Amino acid sequence: MSETTARVASAPVVAESSSARGRRARIALRTVQVLIALFYVIASALPKLIGNQYAVDAFDKIGWGGAGMYTIGALELAGGVALLVPVLQSVAAIALSALMVGAFVVQMTVFGGENAATPLILIVPLALIAWARRGSTTDLLRLVRRRS
């Protein structure tokens, strides 16, 4: 009888710790999403969109000029904002990851590997967001199908 009582008494503790752990994981993931979104909006897109001289020089060196700079800035801004929209968060993380693959290639070929680690480092949390929020892609597909 004491063995049965011990099992019943310990079951809620396990359930509470699992839900508490899940809650902490969701909070941590949301925090990472907000930080990554802020990075893309403030530190990456904004200098391109306001024509910061460093960004202008970098895009001139690439050969894309102002049009390329504003396009990449707009894509980063849209991706950063979309990371905060529940139905778009997974797709945004995938799109930003693809953008970072391109940034890595440009860093390696045009700039000789200078700052090439940055896009690779950003891909890791973006991949985590894309995987953890993959259900939002299903929700997005349902919305699109309903509208068509």
For residues 33 and 130, give the distance between their C-alpha atoms in angstroms, rounded to a whole number: 10
Q: Is residue 49 a contact partner of residue 70, using CB atoms and an 8 Å limit?
A: yes
Confidence (pLDDT) at 76: 98
Q: Band of the pLDDT at 148, cuts 50, 70, 90?
A: confident
The model carries a pTM of: 0.83
Nearest to 86 by CA among 29, 124, 38: 29
Q: Tell me the CB-side half-sphere exposure of residue 44, using CA atoms within 13 A.
A: 25
pLDDT digits (tens, 9 = 90+) for 27-46: 999 999 999 999 999 999 99
Q: Is residue 27 a contact partner of residue 66, using CB atoms and an 8 Å limit?
A: no
